[in-house]
């Protein structure tokens, strides 16, 4: 499986801090994820009772499996208690959001989620970022055209 990415997160949020977390999956979900049948499009993480859970991540049912868990169930994320406390505090006090950036399997074959502590961008911020990217593209194109 290649890395499953949430590209929209970089457009909608200003990324302040990144962190890698394990994810608790059921058997059929692992096989479906390995096949790349998942989406992070509307996913988000939320602290609840001293733990952090991933909500709204879509993992398609694995067809050969007999037992098929719900496709958008909440999934527990595995983090150190100190990390959970620190991020929970920032979410509560500063109004930040925890967004999944990518899901992948590490070299040991374990499913991992790259999380980001993020602040939502305003429409003006999004427009400014698009303008900067467009200018950068034009500069690169002009440099390529030089003999």
Cβ-based neighbour number of residue 41 at 10 Å: 12
For range 2-31, the mean pLDDT: 87
Give the residue from 45, 32, 49, 44 showing the smallest Cα distance to 111.
32
Tokens 């992948």 found at: 104
Q: How far is residue 118 CA from its own chain's centroid?
A: 11
- Dump pLDDT digits (tens) for 41-95: 889 999 999 899 999 998 888 888 777 777 888 999 999 999 999 999 888 888 8
pTM (predicted TM-score): 0.78
Q: Which domains does the chain have, with CATH numbers?
A: 4-121 (2.40.280.10)
């Amino acid at each position: 499986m290649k890395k499953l990415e949430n590209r929209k997160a970089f457009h909608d949020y200003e990324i302040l801090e990144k962190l890698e977390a394990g994810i608790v999956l059921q058997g059929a979900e692992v096989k479906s994820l390995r096949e790349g049948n998942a989406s992070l499009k509307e996913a988000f993480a939320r602290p609840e009772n001293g733990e952090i859970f991933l909500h709204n991540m879509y993992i398609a049912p694995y067809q050969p499996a007999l037992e098929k868990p719900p496709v958008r169930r909440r999934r527990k994320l595995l983090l150190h208690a100190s990390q959970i406390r620190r991020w929970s505090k920032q979410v509560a006090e500063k109004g930040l959001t925890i967004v999944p950036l990518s899901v992948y399997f590490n070299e040991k074959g374990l499913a991992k989620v790259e999380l980001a502590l993020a602040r939502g961008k305003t429409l003006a911020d999004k427009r400014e970022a698009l303008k900067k990217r467009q200018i950068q593209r034009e500069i690169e194109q002009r440099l390529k055209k030089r003999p």
